[in-house]
Structure 1
Amino acid sequence: MSGTARFVHHDKDLSYHFHDSHPFHPIRLQLTIDLLSFAGALPEEAKLSSRQADEEDLLRVHSLEYIKAVQALSVKDPAAEWLSRAEQYGLLDEDTPYFAGMHEASSYIAGGTLTAVEAVMSGSVTHALHLGGGLHHALLAKAAGFCVYNDAAVAISYAREKYQARILYIDTDVHHGDGVQWSFYSDPEVCTYSIHETGKYLFPGTGFVNERGEHLGYGYAVNIPLEPYTEDDSWMECFAESIRRVAAYFKPDLIISQHGCDAHAMDPLSHMHCSMNIYKLMPELIHELAHTYCGGKWVAVGGGGYDIWKVVPRAWSLLWLEMSDHPLKKKLKTQPLSTLPDEWIKRWQPQAPVTLPSEWLDNLSRWEAIPRRDEIIAKNRETLAVALQDIP
C-alpha cells in the first residue's frame, strides 16, 4: 500500500439521503467501503476524516440567500414561508427534494472535498479520494440533479484562492458537469472538461461543443458530448485523445476529477453501453497525467451511478485501487475476471434485490453488440474533432 493516497470520509456523508426510494442512495458508499475493506485495500492508515464546510466555504460558490434557504428547509418541520419558496431554490422537485438534516449532510460533503484538496495541496499526500463528493449540478442559488451544494466548485475556488493553483477539472459522469462549468466559465485559471452523453437526450441538457467559456475564460471549457449507446472503445478513444490534448495545453498544477459511473450499460438513468473496463482505464490515464503535469497532485470525487449494487461499488473501488497503487490493480491487468471477495457477497446479497456480481470486471463475451456501432463511432469522432479544433 502506497502512503501517498488518502481515502477521505465522514459518516455524515451517509446522511445525504433524500428518501429510501431515491436513486441517489448513500448505501452506494457503504457498499464500496465494505468491498475495499474485504479486499484488503483500505487499511486504517489510509483513511482521513473530513471536516464540515462552514458558511465562508460555501459562499465561494453559493449565494447567502440560497444557503439560508437550505438551512431553513433542513429542520424537521420547515416554516410555511420557506416551504412556499422551496421550488424557487430547486428543493421541491422529485430530483432534489428537501430533507431533514440536509444542510449538515451537504456541508460535510463539501467539507470532505475541501479536506481532500487541502491534504494534497499542503503536500501531506499526493492523491486523495472523497467518494461522497461530486455533486456537480448545484448552481449559485439553486439545487439540481440530486445536488445541493457543489462540493467540487467550492474546493476548486478554495484551491485557487489559497494556493493560486491552475486547476484542470475532469468530469467523467454521464451527465454534463454543468454546475462546475458555469462556476468558472470566465476564469482562465480553471479548465473544466466534461465527457458525457449528449444533452440532446439527457439531463441537464447542456454540455455541447460550442460551450467553450467566455471572456478571459474562452477556450477553457471543453465538452465531449457522445452519442447514446457509445461503447468502451469509442468512449476511451474520445476520452484519451481529448484529455491528453487538454492537459498538455493547459498544464495544470492540480487535477480534480469527478467519477460518476453512470455511463455503464446497466445504469438505469442513461443510454450508454460501456462496461466496467472504462472505470479501470480512465483513472489510469488521469493518474498518468497528474504525475506528468502536477507533480502527482490529484483529488478525485464520486458522483452519479445508479446501479448501486452491480456497478458503483466495483467502479469506485477500481478508482481507489489505482490511486493507492494497490497490488490488486496489477493483478487485474492479467486476470481481468478475478473474483470479488466472498465475504462482501455474503454480507450484502441478502439485502440486494439483484444477484451481486462475482467478478471485478464485466465478462463482455456475454454482451450483445450494438447494431449502430459504426455510425455511433463516426459521429463521436466528428464531435471530438469539433471539440478539439481550437486546442493546439
Structure 2
Amino acid sequence: MNYPIYLDYNATTPCAPEVLEEMLPWFSQHFGNAASKYHPYGWVAEEAVEKAREQIANLIGARSKEIIFTSGATEAINLAIKGIFEVYAGEKQHYITCQTEHKAILDCFEELEGKGASITYLPVQRDGSIDLDTLQSSIRPETKMIALMWANNETGFIHPISEIAQIAEEKGIIFFTDAVQAAGKIQVSVKGIHLMAISAHKFEGPKGVGALFIRHNHNLPKPIGQISGGGHEKGFRSGTLNVPGIVGMGKAAEVKQGMLESEFSRLSLLRNQLEEGLLQIPKTHLNGSQEHRLPHVTNISFEGVEGEDLLRKVCMKVAVSSGSACTSISPKPSHVLKAMGLDDYLGRASLRFSLGRQTTEQDILDSIAWVRKSIKDLRGQ
C-alpha cells in the first residue's frame, strides 16, 4: 500500500527497530510464563519483566516496585480512579478533574457520578489552561483525588504539574496524572504524584501494554485492584503478564530516555516550520497556546470548509486526525476544542498534526503543500 505521510504520532507510534528486535525472542525462544516459579523458563521471563520495570521506572523517576503493568493506559486509568473510589466506599466522595481530559478519564468519572460521587470538571481558558485559584477553591473536605493530565492529547498543552502536585500535597489529596502523551517525549518525574498512567505505544513501544505508577511509602491509600484472579502485580492487576510487550515497553523507555533532548529540539523546529507554513493560509487559527506545549504537536482550524470533507481530503496524502484517535469515529466536534471556546463549526474543521521520530523536513514541506492545495480546492478557489 502507498501510505500517506504520517503526522498522527499522538494516535500511535511505530515500534522502534531496537524495540522489535528486543521483543522477538520472547515470542519463541524465551516463551515462559513469568509466574512459573519452579523452572528456568519462568525465571528467565520474570527476570526480563523486572528489567523492563526498572527501565520504565528510570524514564519517569520512580522505583521499579512502583510500576504495575497493565494492558494499556485505559486500564491503568480505570484502575487508578475506580480503585481509589472503592477504597473510600461508604464515604462521601468528591473528585476534581478537567473538561479537556481524555475520554478514558471523563468516562470513568461519569460512571462514578452514577454511583454517588461528586465530580468537579474544571473549565479551561482559550489556551487550554486551568486557573489554579479555581482548582484551590474547588477542594472540599471530602475531596479524594485531583486527576489532571500532564499534556493534552489534542493540543499538546502542558499543565503546571509541579504546582498542582504541591496543592494536592498541602491538602493531603491524591494526585493522579494521565502522562500518556508526555512520557517518552518530554522529561517527566513522579515527584509529588501518587498515581501516573503511561502507555507503550505512544513512545515507540508495542500496543497492548501500559503501566500505572503507584507511589509506595506514603500515607495516602493505594487503589484496589479491578481484575481478580491470581494476585499478579502485587494484587493490583491479576492476569498472565504480556512478557514480549513488557520487554518492548522497557526497551522503548530506555531508547526514548536517551534521545529526549535531541528529539525535543529537532521536532520543535519541524513543528514550527509546519505551523508557520499552514498559518500562512488565509483564515486559519492556532488552537491553544504557542507556549507550554509538547514540541511535536500543533492543532489548527480552517475556516470555510466542512470538517469531514477536510479530514477526508487531507488524509489522502497526509495522515492526521481531528482529535483523539479513541473518538475519531464521532462526527461531533472535539470536546477539548469546545471547552476552549471554539464553536462547533471550527471545532469540526480543525486538524491535529503530531510529529515523530521518522518525520523529516521533506515530510513537512510536502504536507504544507498538500494542505494548502486541499484548502484551496475545498474553498473552491
Taking structure 1 as the reference length, the TM-score comes to 0.31
Higher RCO (Cα < 8 Å, 6 or more apart): 2
The structure with the largest alpha-carbon Rg is 2
Taking structure 2 as the reference length, the TM-score comes to 0.32
